[in-house]
Structures are given as structure tokens and as C-alpha cells.
Chains A and B, each alone.
Chain A
Amino acid sequence: TQLLEQSPQFLSIQEGENLTVYCNSSSVFSSLQWYRQEPGEGPVLLVTVVTGGEVKKLKRLTFQFGDARKDSSLHITAAQPGDTGLYLCAGVSRYFGNEKLTFGTGTRLTIIP
């Protein structure tokens, strides 16, 4: 069974601060995705990283895929209250012509105005 552990599980910080969320696994993934989920809604895809060592930026969010394609991080600069939500990483694995998403345990982020 592939497991993706996220840390921290909960994070509450003041508006304007920076933060990093980590996603770690012992398994190698073909790519990795990050989602944000708000209460009562389904997850929404933020980014997909494919190549080991890849860095992608989405405004104040920076995503990095580990060189060995087993881990990833999400860094938010100058956090804003609108960043509040549940952040989920998801590893993509290929098998027998199919592809499957394995979601991480989630990081619940609260930005205090």
C-alpha cells in the first residue's frame, strides 16, 4: 500500500507569514498533484509536477517535486486569509495501462487576519 504522509497536519499562522507543507512517501510516483479543498466542496487541482526536481510557481505558491519523485513541498509566501483550506497532495502511479491517484493525509491551513 502506498502511503503519502503530510506534515504538519494542522497549521495556523498570521496573515503575511510564510509557510511550507511537506508530502512524503517511500514510494516513487510518476507525477504528483496538489489540491485545495474547502468545506463542503470537492478538491480542486492546483498543480501537477512531473519531473524529479521540478519547481512550479503559481502566484505566491511554489511547488517542488523531490529529485527521487517520492516527496514534494508546497511553500506559500505572504499567506492571506483566502489561502485557508485543506491542502492535499496526491501521487500518480501507473499500472497495467491505468493510472491511480493516492491522496495524502492532508494539511489543514488556517490564516488568521
Chain B
Amino acid sequence: GAGVSQTPSNKVTEKGKYVELRCDPISGHTALYWYRQSLGQGPEFLIYFQGTGAADDSGLPNDRFFAVRPEGSVSTLKIQRTERGDSAVYLCASSLRPGPSYEQYFGPGTRLTVT
């Protein structure tokens, strides 16, 4: 069955470059979440979309990070002027509706390495 997919699976970029990470949620899921997981740590919340709008972006670390979901389906996480500290696995999850009554299904993640 079609789960959450993320592309690319791996991205290596140089410090200062711009990157885009894509998430394709499960069809029909209205809620979409982005998390960042550093090595040896649990995922850290970044942003959550309900439909096309960002319902909560309080986890974005600074203004170099931005995410969009223009048609309420696919989402793109954008990072400007990347720094070595941005290296991590970026996870996307979707759920049928927002809230823990609805299970979040996670994608395999995009491993970002900033050199």
C-alpha cells in the first residue's frame, strides 16, 4: 500500500546552499507534520499543517526554515543558507485528521548532510 514517501532519501549539500525536501502524505490525510531527528535523539517537532495552512510552526528553529503545502497534499520543507548544524534526518508524518486519536504515519525520512 502507499505510505508516506519522502524524497530525496539522502541529500548532501555544502554549507550556505539552499535545499528542498519533499513529502508525499497518504492520500486523503489532512494533517501533515515535519520533524527533525538528530543522531541518537528522538524526533523534534518542526511544523504542522492542517490542509494548506500551517496550524503550528513554533518548532521551526529560525527564519532559514520554511515549509509549504499549497494544495493540501504534497509538502516541501525549504532550508536556506544551510549550516552544518542542520545535518539530521528530516521526517514527515501524516494523519487522517489532526490529534492523537488519529495515528501519525511516518515516512522513512530524508537524511540531510551539510558539509
Mark A residues whose CB is within 8 Å of B: 4, 6, 30-31, 33, 40-45, 48, 88, 90, 92, 98-106
**Beta-carbon contact of A42 and B4 below 8 Å:** yes
* Interface membership of chain B positions 86-101, coded 1 if the CB is closer than 8 angstroms to chain A and 0 otherwise: 0000010100001110
> Hey, which chain B residues are within 8 Å of A6, CB to CB?
42
> Hey, which chain B residues are within 8 Å of A92, CB to CB?
100
Q: Tell me the B79-115 residues at the A interface (CB within 8 Å).
A: 91, 93, 98-100, 103-109
Q: A91: nearest residue on chain B (CB-CB)?
A: B100
Least distance between A42 CB and chain B CB atoms (Å): 3
**Beta-carbon contact of B41 and A105 below 8 Å:** yes
Q: A93: nearest residue on chain B (CB-CB)?
A: B100
Q: How far is the CA of A48 from the CA of B61 in the complex (A)?
A: 28
Mark B residues whose CB is within 8 Å of A: 4, 33, 35, 40-45, 48, 55-56, 91, 93, 98-100, 103-109
In the complex with contacts A88-B43, A98-B56, A102-B45, A31-B100 CB distance below 8 A: yes
Q: State the main secondary structure of chain B at its contact with A.
A: loop
Q: How far is the CA of A75 from the CA of B56 in the complex (A)?
A: 34
> Hey, which chain B residues are within 8 Å of A31, CB to CB?
100
Q: How far is the CA of A102 from the CA of B58 in the complex (A)?
A: 13
Q: How far is the CA of A8 from the CA of B107 in the complex (A)?
A: 26
Most buried by B among A41, A43, A45: A43
> Hey, which chain A residues are within 8 Å of B43, CB to CB?
43, 88, 103
Q: A107: nearest residue on chain B (CB-CB)?
A: B42
**Beta-carbon contact of B106 and A44 below 8 Å:** yes
**Beta-carbon contact of A104 and B42 below 8 Å:** yes
> Hey, which chain B residues are within 8 Å of A103, CB to CB?
35, 42-44
Q: How far is the CA of A11 from the CA of B107 in the complex (A)?
A: 26
